[in-house]
């Protein structure tokens, strides 16, 4: 029996597709279709569907599991769970970048790590799962990769300024101010991809984005998530 090339991804999302072609389509970036004339479609339609399905699943789950929460609080939490930045982080965690089919130019310019591409692919996979297996399939994925994120979102305040939050964390733990450094800038002037590193608390994290400011934000988010995760593990010991 031939092993599916998407086995690792399917294990990461908690759902095995019956129709692999649907999953493959969800991972087909428009740039790949443009460069391969035999490809008739890309993942944009599935992304549209996945966006709607994800919003509904998040709303239903939050409604059922937060009986005392007000409408405004539920809406804010749903927004934080489904925003592109969070979707990109989830995409990175499940290793989706190695499966996205990109055009040569897009891949060369860092498209496999671009936050917008990761977020779009996650939504497209949700849409593909809906097409492949309906609500049962999408709920499996939601419970596997989204529900674990809710714990951190509900227990922590909204981080509208991750750089500021990281600085507060570092200084409160006896470290200096985090240092940011742009280590690479790729692509044409109209579509630059910046790689930024942030050093804090004796460690370094990096992130890529279409602007230095956004790359710094993403790097700070990564740093905060890991540092807070270590704190939680210490608390459990």
CATH placement of domain 7-151: 1.10.1520.10
Encode pLDDT of 93-120 as tens digits: 999 999 999 999 888 888 888 888 999 9
Among the listed residues 47, 113, 123, 132, the single catalytic one is 123
Among the listed residues 47, 51, 113, 225, the single catalytic one is 51
pTM comes to: 0.65
Encode pLDDT of 11-47 as tens digits: 999 999 999 999 999 999 999 999 998 888 999 999 9
Sign of the alpha-carbon dihedral angle for 8, 9, 14, 15: negative
Domain 162-236, CATH among 3.30.420.140, 3.30.160.20, 1.10.260.40, 3.20.20.60: 3.30.160.20
Radius of gyration of the chain (CA): 19
**CA–CA distance, 215 with 213 (Å, rounded to integer):** 5
Per the annotation, the verdict on 123 as an active-site residue is: yes
Domain boundaries, the chain: 7-151, 162-236
């Amino acid at each position: 029996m031939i092993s599916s090339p998407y086995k690792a991804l399917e294990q990461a999302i908690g759902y095995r597709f019956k129709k692999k072609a649907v999953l493959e389509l969800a991972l087909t970036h428009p740039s790949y279709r443009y460069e391969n004339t035999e490809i008739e479609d890309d993942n944009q339609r599935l992304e549209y569907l996945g966006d709607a399905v994800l919003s509904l699943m998040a709303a239903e789950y939050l409604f059922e599991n937060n009986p005392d929460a007000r409408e405004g609080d539920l809406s804010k939490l749903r927004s934080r769970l489904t925003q592109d930045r969070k979707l990109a982080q989830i995409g990175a965690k499940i290793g989706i970048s190695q499966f996205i089919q990109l055009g040569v130019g897009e891949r060369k310019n860092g498209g496999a790590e671009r936050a917008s591409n990761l977020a779009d692919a996650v939504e497209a996979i949700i849409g593909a799962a809906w097409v492949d297996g309906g609500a049962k399939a999408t709920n499996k994925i939601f419970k596997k990769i989204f529900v674990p994120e809710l714990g951190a979102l509900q227990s922590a305040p909204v981080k509208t300024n991750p750089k500021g939050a990281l600085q507060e964390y570092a200084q409160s733990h006896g470290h200096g101010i985090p240092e940011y450094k742009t280590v690479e800038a790729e692509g044409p002037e109209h579509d630059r991809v910046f790689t930024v590193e942030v050093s804090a608390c004796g460690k370094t994290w990096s992130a890529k984005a279409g602007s230095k400011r956004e790359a710094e934000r993403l790097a700070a988010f990564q740093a905060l998530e890991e540092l807070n995760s270590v704190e939680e593990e210490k608390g459990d010991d």
